[in-house]
Amino acid sequence: MSTIKIHLEDAEMHPVLRLAKLLHVEPEDIAYAALNRLMIQGRDPEVQNDICHTRKVRETQLPLWADSAGSVHAYEGMPDCDPARSKYSV
């Protein structure tokens, strides 16, 4: 039997573990079911584009389903803005 290893960040693994616990299965069962669904739909050009896009952004972004508590938000690292002056201010 061949092996595929998937390395996940904690923010990616925790949702997988929660789903596995909810369904009373192992995390490997979640991964296999996901691969099964993907392979069934893999000839769809939209799915193929999604696979390629996910590969490109994986190094810099967490997937939408990951816990994002540790992720950087778009506004972080930006300079603080002065509030806009109101047209009613004197």
In the chain, where the domains are located: 10-57
The C-alpha atoms of residue 41 and residue 45 are separated, in whole angstroms, by: 9
Confidence of residue 90 (pLDDT cuts 50, 70, 90): very low
pTM of the model: 0.69
Q: Which residues of 6-44 are buried (b: 16+ CB within 10 A; e: fewer)?
A: eeeeebbeeebeeebeeeeeebeebeeeeeeeeeeeeee
What is the structure's pLDDT at 69? 56
Token pair 């999604």 is found at: 50
Instruction: Say if residue 17's pLDDT is above 70.
Output: yes
What is the structure's pLDDT at 59? 86
What is the tens place of the pLDDT at every residue in 32-79? 999 999 999 999 999 999 999 999 999 899 988 899 855 555 545 555
